[in-house]
Amino acid sequence: MDWRAAIIAGLLAGALTMLLWVILLALTTGGSVWAPFHHVAAILLGQSVLTPSQTINFQVVLTGAVIHLFLSVLYSVILAFIIHRWGLWVGIVGGAIFGLALYVINYYTFTTLYPWFFPLRGWIALMGHIVFGAAAGGIYEGLERDIYVVTDAPVSDAELSA
């Protein structure tokens, strides 16, 4: 497994997904573009940060972004362990399936710990998780280097004794 590729894939796919989530939620609900950051930040800071205002609270936004990117890297490392060296198409399709599984786990089990995510279940979150997985898998496979592959031809016993 290529750790560098997994970390980069997690950061890029996480940023892409957060951007997609922010835009779609703001367009479809008319809510604040900062709301997704507040929801994620509440995991660490508590429910008191759940009411986003139209003005930016840098501490909450930064906390939400850091948590989101940390989880994105964590999930990408797990995905990379599963799909590494299978190729680009398996990375994309397998990643999309992995994203679907993450959606089910996050929105149907973790909502018992973080109930403020319950109302966010729907097509935006589902699509975001599938896009995250597909992007993370594709980016990982595109960046993966086979650093443990032997590049020298095997040496015979005769060549060793000469």
| Per-residue model confidence as pLDDT tens digits over 94-139 | 999 999 999 999 999 999 999 989 888 999 999 999 999 999 999 9
Evaluate whether residue 153 is within a structural domain: no
**Between these two residues, 17 and 53, which has the higher pLDDT value?**
17
Q: Per the structure, how many domains does the chain have?
A: 1
Residues 130-152: what's their mean pLDDT?
86
Evaluate whether residue 42 is within a structural domain: yes
The pTM of this model reads: 0.85
What is the rounded average pLDDT for all residues in the chain? Answer: 90
Q: What is the domain range of residue 93? A: 3-146
Other C-beta atoms lying within 10 Å of the C-beta of residue 156: 9
Residue 54 has what pLDDT?
66
Evaluate whether residue 152 is within a structural domain: no
Evaluate whether residue 8 is within a structural domain: yes
Whether residue 70 is predicted with pLDDT greater than 60 in this model: the reply is: yes
Whether residue 90 is predicted with pLDDT greater than 80 in this model: the reply is: yes
Evaluate whether residue 39 is within a structural domain: yes
Can you tell me which residue has the tokens 């996050």? 106
Dihedral sign computed on CA atoms, order 106, 76, 131, 41: positive
